[in-house]
Amino acid sequence: MTPTSSRLAILQRVVNGINATNPQYSILFRRNVTTHPIPYFGDPITSLIATFGLNPSAAEFTCNRWSQVLTTQQLDDCLINYFKNPAVPAHCWFCCWENCLNMLGHSYKEDTVHLDLSPRATGDKGDGKLFEQMVATDLQWFCQVLALCRNVKAAFMAGTATKALYIDDFLKKYLPPSYSLRPRAKRRKGETSVYDLVGPNLNIPVFFCGPSPSAGDGGVGLASEVWHNLASLKAAGF
């Protein structure tokens, strides 16, 4: 199986799995907005760097990028070319991460992919327990896409997954047993840290920061943390 056919096969499994289970999470979705599962923004196969987020926003689907009906091939084309579409710019959420990536000589347009823990686009988190259950369940798809990231050498993540859990703690709680997220040093909750994400054919450093791109400061806190840690990030392979 070629790398492209492997990506399409995983995408089809994601689409089938998400469509089959969407009804149980319907109260979390934005009314009158047709969405598609998004397991990756950019190409997981060719990218060297990754950013991790929680899940796509339903606002993504209010622009003219997405048709209401897409074949798996058409959806894949939209996803791998997401950051290279001159007619429709990427969602503004990615701007802060793009600035951070640029500090280290990377860009979504060149060598970076974004993966979300859940591929389902929701409105607000609504029922917090149901949202947490959804994301925890959908980690299976996140891990399947991670398996495609054979060239990724480092990743970034920031912010919270729930009111009680930062995204790093969420992963430590819910990742399958074949994966682990190991801090390189002792840390306090929400503190900027570097982890090793280890799994089947995977061992990469992951930078975590408490402030997220969607924080009230417009991502300034996140950008500042990356800036202050540039030397150590470069030394770690970012």
> CB of 6 within 8 A of CB of 29?
no
Over residues 149-173, the pLDDT tens digits come to 999 999 999 999 998 999 999 999 9
Task: Look at residue 51 and give its three-state secondary structure.
Answer: strand
188 pLDDT higher than 90:
no
Q: State the first-to-last Cα distance of the chain, in angstroms, to the nearest integer.
A: 30
What mean pLDDT do residues 187-193 have? 84
Q: What is the pTM of this model?
A: 0.95
Q: Which of 27-31, 89-93, 173-177, 187-191 has the highest mean pLDDT?
A: 173-177
63 pLDDT higher than 80:
no
CA gap 79, 38 in Å, rounded? 7
CATH of the domain at 201: 3.40.470
Give the domain extent around 52. Answer: 3-236
The pairing of strands 202-209 and 193-199 is antiparallel
- Radius of gyration (C-alpha) of the chain in whole angstroms: 17
Over residues 104-120, the pLDDT tens digits come to 999 999 999 999 999 99
> CB of 32 within 8 A of CB of 73?
no
Distances (CA, A) of 64 to 23, 61, 89: 25, 7, 10
- pLDDT over 70 for what percent of the chain? 99
CA 52 to chain centre: 3
Among residues 138, 141, 116, 124, which one has the least CA distance to residue 27? 124
Q: How many domains does the chain fold into?
A: 1
Q: CA dihedral defined by 210, 127, 14, 197, rounded to 10 degrees?
A: 30
Q: What is the pLDDT of residue 40?
A: 98
Ordered DSSP codes for 138-183 = HHHHHHHHHTT-TT--EEEEESBSSSS-BHHHHHHHHS-TT-EEEE
Over residues 127-152, the pLDDT tens digits come to 689 999 999 999 999 999 999 999 99
Q: What is the pLDDT of residue 19?
A: 95
pLDDT mean across residues, the chain: 93
